[in-house]
């Protein structure tokens, strides 16, 4: 655990060398990058952490937004002596990564955005997510698990009989969520400001990885984000939805390895 501005952030570290910091998506934790840290820790210092109020990090004593999560990440990188790092952010973690690259570029060696975008939450999503939050408060995540799984994972993963056990593990993680903590994190996501105006300032080498079955952030939003960052390259991950680090772990690891080797 690492003390950061009134909370204790849980993080895990393995390997030595140039640091990689992994930042997870909404509802999950740093464990969503377990496959990548296992594969890359023989060559890199892999650090995965849980955002405040999520995973095994402590509950935030006050409401927070994406700016607070970005400040948390900057402090963690500095306190762990991981400057400059390869920063890998998935969805919510990508929202953090873009803000870091635009405002604290000295902290980053490269930026990888996975299933993320620079825009605000589309207005048609907000009432849907608010309604889901109300249902969760009343009944827990049990009635919502099927719907959330379809948002988080692509069709290929959800239909693959060989990954039934992994799907059950992810369902169990969703069922174990604490609704008040989830509400705070969801609020930070749906209230976030767009950062398209900040993207031209990014000079950190950037790649955008995006699952071709992602329904939470459709491909067009990722394409627009990549086009706004100088030199950014969009890499499509086949057969992956909104959680490609879990759905297609080898493809993500290969893309990360090639990118890091190109920017040693």
Number of domains in the chain: 1
Exposure letters 201-230 (e unless 16+ CB within 10 A, then b): ebebbbbbbbbebbebbeeebbeebbebbe
Q: What is the pLDDT of residue 31?
A: 97
Q: What is the pLDDT of residue 40?
A: 98
Angle at the Cα of 149 (from 148 to 150), degrees rounded to 5? 90
Q: Quick one: which H or E segment has residue 110?
A: strand 108-114
Rounded distance, CA 260 to CA 249, Å?
16
The CATH number of residue 14's host domain is: 3.40.50.1820
Task: Report pTM.
Answer: 0.96
Q: What is the pLDDT of residue 138?
A: 83
Structural domain that includes position 255: 2-262
Q: What is the pLDDT of residue 115?
A: 98
Exposure letters 20-39 (e unless 16+ CB within 10 A, then b): bbbbbbbbbbbbbbbbbbeb
Tokens of 233: 């390259």
Per residue of the chain (264 residues), what is the pLDDT tens digit? 999 989 999 999 999 999 999 999 999 999 999 999 999 999 999 999 999 999 999 999 999 999 999 999 999 999 999 999 999 999 999 999 999 999 999 999 999 999 999 999 988 888 888 888 888 888 888 888 999 999 999 999 999 999 999 999 999 999 999 988 999 999 999 999 999 999 999 999 999 999 999 999 999 999 999 999 999 999 999 999 999 999 999 999 999 999 999 998
CA neighbours closer than 13 Å in the CB half-sphere of residue 44:
24
Q: What is the pLDDT of residue 131?
A: 85
Q: What is the pLDDT of residue 242?
A: 98
């Amino acid at each position: 655990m690492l003390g950061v501005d009134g909370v204790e952030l849980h993080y895990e570290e393995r390997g030595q060398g140039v640091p990689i910091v992994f930042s997870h998506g909404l509802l999950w934790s740093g464990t969503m990058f377990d496959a990548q840290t296992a594969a890359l820790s023989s060559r890199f210092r892999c650090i995965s952490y849980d955002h405040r109020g999520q995973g095994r990090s402590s509950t935030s004593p006050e409401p927070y937004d994406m700016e607070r999560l970005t400040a948390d990440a900057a402090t963690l990188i500095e306190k762990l002596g991981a400057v400059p790092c390869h920063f890998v952010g998935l969805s919510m973690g990508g929202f953090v990564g873009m803000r870091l690259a635009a405002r604290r570029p000295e902290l980053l060696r490269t930026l990888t955005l996975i299933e993320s975008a620079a825009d605000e939450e589309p207005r048609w999503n907000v009432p849907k997510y608010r309604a889901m939050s109300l249902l969760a408060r009343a009944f827990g995540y049990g009635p919502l698990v099927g719907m959330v799984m379809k948002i988080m994972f692509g069709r290929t993963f959800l239909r693959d009989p060989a990954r039934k056990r992994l799907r059950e593990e992810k369902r169990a993680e969703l069922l174990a969520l604490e609704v008040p903590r989830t509400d705070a994190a969801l609020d930070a996501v749906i209230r976030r400001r767009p950062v398209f105006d900040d993207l031209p300032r990014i000079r950190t080498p950037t790649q955008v990885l995006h699952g071709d079955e992602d329904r939470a952030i459709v491909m067009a939003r990722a394409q627009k984000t990549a086009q706004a960052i100088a030199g950014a390259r969009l890499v499509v991950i086949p057969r992956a939805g909104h959680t490609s680090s879990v759905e297609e772990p080898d493809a993500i690891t290969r893309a990360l390895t090639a990118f890091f080797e190109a920017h040693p």
